[in-house]
Amino acid sequence: MTEYEYGPQPIAALMEKHNLKPHDLVAASTEQITHKMVSRACKGRKLSRKVQFKLVAAINTAAEQTYTLKDLFTY
């Protein structure tokens, strides 16, 4: 494991719990996020704080829940 890989992240489990696919987050986002960003987040690749916040906003919109960074990422 390199310093940029943190293993599977909670965001993947939350997406599964709400039956969401990466495209659902991309479609729900009002900001510029890509399928690649979502994929990297689920796999545990290190993302910038800005991208992490974009993903939090997208999953909150898609799942109609209120999650925080700590709920989605372990790093």
Tens digits of per-residue pLDDT, 28-71? 999 999 999 999 999 999 999 999 999 999 999 999 999 999 99
DSSP code of residue 5: B
Name the pLDDT band for 4 (thresholds 50, 70, 90). Answer: confident
pTM over 0.85: yes
The helix/strand/coil state of 30 is coil
Name the pLDDT band for 3 (thresholds 50, 70, 90). Answer: confident
pLDDT over 90 (residue 7): yes
34: tokens are 């890509």
CB atoms within 10 A of CB 51: 18
Listed residue (65, 61, 30, 24) closest to 42, CA to CA = 24
| CA atoms 53, 23, 21, 42: torsion sign | negative
56: tokens are 């939090």
